Structure 1
Amino acid sequence: MKIEVKKLPKSRVEIEVTLEKSEIKPYYDRTLSDLSRTVEMKGFRPGKVPRETVEKTLGRPKILVEAAERSVEELYPKIVVEKNLEIIGRPEIEIKKADEDEFFWRAKASVLPEIKLADYKDIAKSEEKKKVSVEKKEIDDSIDYLQKSRAEIKDADRPAELGDLVEVDFEGRVAGVKLEGSQSKNHPAVLGEGKLIPGFEDELAGLKVGEEKDFSVQAPADYWEQNLRGKKIDFHVKVIKVRERKLLDLNDEFAKKLGHFENLENLKSSVNEGLLVEKQEKEKERRRAAIVEKVAVSSSMDLPELLVDEEIKKMVHELSHTVERNGLKLEDYLAHVKKSADDLHKEFRQEAEKRVRVALVMREVARCEQVKISDEELDSKTQEILRTVPPEDQKKIDIADLKVYANGILRNQKVFEILESY
């Protein structure tokens, strides 16, 4: 048997296998024997068809092709292991020749790339760990949020004022054409918070329950929806509810109502500690991402198209899930933003390549640092993830796949801890 492995661009390999006449006979005989047991022919009981009859009926060329396919199924996995190939995805198989004198077949597959890793230790050392602190305004804003969230709310029989909670039905149009996604029923808003398009909340002030109003606002130049930037949007609104909030006084009694706080200062101290921990965690995540992204950019590798394409599919799925949570289908969203699926794939490619580079670098650092995951760690993490899944859905989960996922999480965690130590 002759085996030749060639490297192809984009982290692919080509495996060519040639079997001589003497090597073909065992595959042919086994294939013929299996066919005599499985093929159904008139006049013979199942499994009792003579080999000679099968051979005559089906013809040697057809049996030879099946024998060649059997040789692929048996030899391909062995060659992958023998040649130490890190195959990803399914191979493309071509049987080029299958006769009595020679089998010749070719397999092409993507492999994990060879990575020339950048000096990740030096990059980690050079990435500054920024000091974080909490400003007084941040504490005040958090206390203000707590105060508003505990406010007493009741219906108001008067025109809406700044600070009121209102519910409105509205519809938006541009140049007389109804906008998709710009209609809502019982839409909540707090007047003055600026959560809606600029100018919208101001127009609601002074309206009572049941009153309707037509007005126009100009979408800002940096509006989140690109195709509406700078355009005049005409709205028709009807006020459904007006509710006023009565804020509780900020004092020791307020603090005690929130939990185990002795006084207001104790509450502010707790808020300060919470904000500090949150900022420290964000800084840790920022530094981790900065380190690994710099390592990824500075390392050289030939990205497999297969991994990039798979990552793009994941990103499209993530977008689809987000869009569906807002009551739209992905097709409708794309039509609204005037983009095709191909446009989306092209837009996502650069980010997908970045994600793949980062994932491959993390894997390579783990290999260099000889990161190991114990069975106890893996079982514990697997169970931790499983507990987040509703009981009725747990039976649908492939535990082997879940363990692979858990292993990746643990491996990356250990890699980050190693990078942070430099």
Structure 2
Amino acid sequence: MTNIKKLGDSQIEIECKVPAEDFDRFFKLALKDFKEKVELPGFRKGAVPERMVLEKVGDALVLESAAELAIKDLWPRLLREEKIEAIGRPEFSITKLAKGNSLGLKIKTTVLSPIELADYKKIAKEANSAKTDVVDVSDAEIAETLEMLRKNNPAYFKEGARLDSSARQADEEKMKDAIRQNLEFEKKRKAKDTHRMELLDKIVSASKITVPGILMLSELEKMEFELKNSLKDMGLKWEDYLEHIKKTEEELRMGWKDDALKRVKFGLVLREIASREKLIPQEKDLDAQVDKILLEVGEEDRKKASRAGLKEHIFGRLQNEMVLSLLEGEK
């Protein structure tokens, strides 16, 4: 029998039992494991009688090991059967542990509360109808970019100066066209990103979302990790950066709270829409992306990389892209 009690901050407490006959099976498995490890004079390793193994290690150790095995078996099954969306690491407390008896457990875990999602298709249609795909690139922007290229690549432009005036003009016009295309592409990309963020913001604002504290903490840690990596790439030290901005780590995190909350809510909304629309990236696309990343990194990083971890990260990214494409397609 399973009892579930709601606690504060998106937490629940589960009281349950592993029946005596099931726990006895785990006790035997645990004892078998100890039997393979215990060594006693006059016996080959793994051939010590179970009675003597129990005398050697004691019932308590075998019971604890059996409880661990039972919990590993129970937890994923419990989540499926009770339809619990647990996040973070659960806390297990053993309330009853005795040979020949059922195993009593109390489990405390954080869960995702149901999201009261707004009519995201209606919001997307309204936002998309007001969107324009036209971007303007002025002559002044092209001239500014061209001047920057001249400063950064003096050798190339010095070589071009040797051409006759008509050839030089044709070369410059060709370059201006390329600059215009690049600026248009970049502006369209930025406009698309801005539209997506505004669209998500509208859906989030119109929805009711409870954010567990553990997700906020995780997002703040992620933001700190991203900043530290960025500083490292620029050859800067974390301590020097904090000294430069005259803030402690805690003050920095406090300043990130609003952004962290928004990022978590965006993630929860994307996840919920993906679930409702049954948007799942194909296995071949995941494998292709993983292979591409592993080919681009060095040999040492390739050895350290976890294919399963990469796949999980890419799954989320591709799924988010599927959701955003769906929303952008609402007309």
The structure where strand makes up a greater share of residues is 1
Q: Aligned residue for 1:28?
A: 27
Partner of 2:323 in structure 1? 415
Distance 1:69 1:123, change over 3 A: same
Q: Distance in 2 between matches of 1:405 and 1:299?
A: 26
Pick one of 208, 221, 233 that aligns with 1:313.
221
Partner deviation per Cα, 1:323-343 (whole Å, 9 max, x = no partner): 334443213332444433322
Letter aligned with residue 108 of structure 1: K
* Number of positions where the alignment pairs a residue of Structure 1 with one of Structure 2: 326
AA matched with 2:138: E
For 1:63 and 1:280, the matched residues in 2 are separated by 64
CA 1:86/1:265 → structure 2, altered by over 3 Å: closer, same or farther? Answer: same
- The 8 Å contact of residues 252 and 263 in structure 1, kept in 2 or not, is answered as no
Q: Distance in 2 between matches of 1:252 and 1:133?
A: 32
> In the alignment, which residue of structure 2 is the partner of 1:295?
203
| Aligned residues with identical type, % of pairs | 33
Hey, what does 1:217 align to over in structure 2?
Answer: none
Partner of 1:76: 75
The whole-number CA distance in structure 1 between the counterparts of 2:200 and 2:253 is 25
Letter paired with 2:188: Q
- The amino acid of 1:66's aligned partner reads S
Q: TM-score, normalised by structure 2?
A: 0.84
Give the whole-Å Cα distance in 2 for the aligned partners of 1:83 and 1:262.
Answer: 71
CA distance in 1, matches of 2:256, 2:229: 16
Q: What is the alpha-carbon distance in structure 1 between the residues aligned to residue 293 and residue 158 of structure 2?
A: 41
What is the alpha-carbon distance in structure 2 between the residues aligned to residue 95 and residue 342 of structure 1?
A: 36
Give the structure 2 partner of residue 277 of structure 1.
185
Whole-angstrom CA distance in 1 between matches of 2:304 and 2:165: 47
Matched to 2:191, the amino acid is: E
Letter in 2 for 1:111: V
Give the counterpart letter for 1:67 in structure 2.
A
Matched residue, 1:110: 110
8 Å CA contact 2:21, 2:102 repeated in 1: no
Given that 2:30 and 2:62 are in contact with CA atoms closer than 8 Å, whether structure 1 keeps it comes out as yes
| Map of 1:197 onto structure 2 | none
Q: Give distance in 1, aligned partners of 2:122 and 2:166.
A: 48
Q: What's the CA shift for 1:355?
A: 0.9
Indicate the larger mover: 124-133 or 144-153: 144-153
Structure with larger RCO (C-alpha < 8 A, sep 6+): 2
Question: Any idea what SS the aligned residue of 2:296 has?
Answer: coil
1:86–1:111 CA contact under 8 A, matched in 2 = yes
Q: CA 1:95 to 1:150, structure 2 compared with 1: closer, same or farther past 3 Å? A: same
The residue type paired with residue 114 of structure 1 is: P
Once the two structures are superposed, the pairs formed by residues 185-200 of structure 1 within 5 Å of their partners are none
Structure 1 residues not aligned, in runs of 5+: 154-245
1:66 aligns with 2:65: yes
- Contact in 2 for aligned 1:251/1:264 (Cα 8 Å): no
Query: Whole-Å Cα distance in 2 between the matches of residues 322 and 255 of structure 1?
Result: 46
| Structure-2 residue corresponding to 1:198 | none
TM-score by length of 1: 0.68
Alpha-carbon spacing, 1:48–1:265, altered in 2? closer, same or farther (3 Å): closer
* CA-CA distance at 1:42 after TM superposition: 5.1
Stretches of structure 2 that go unaligned for 5 or more consecutive residues are: none
Task: Provide Cα deviations, 1:95-124, integer angstroms capped at 9, x if missing partner.
Answer: 122124442112222334421111212222
1:137 equivalent in alignment to 2:140:
yes
The answer to whether the 8 A contact 1:253-1:263 is kept is no
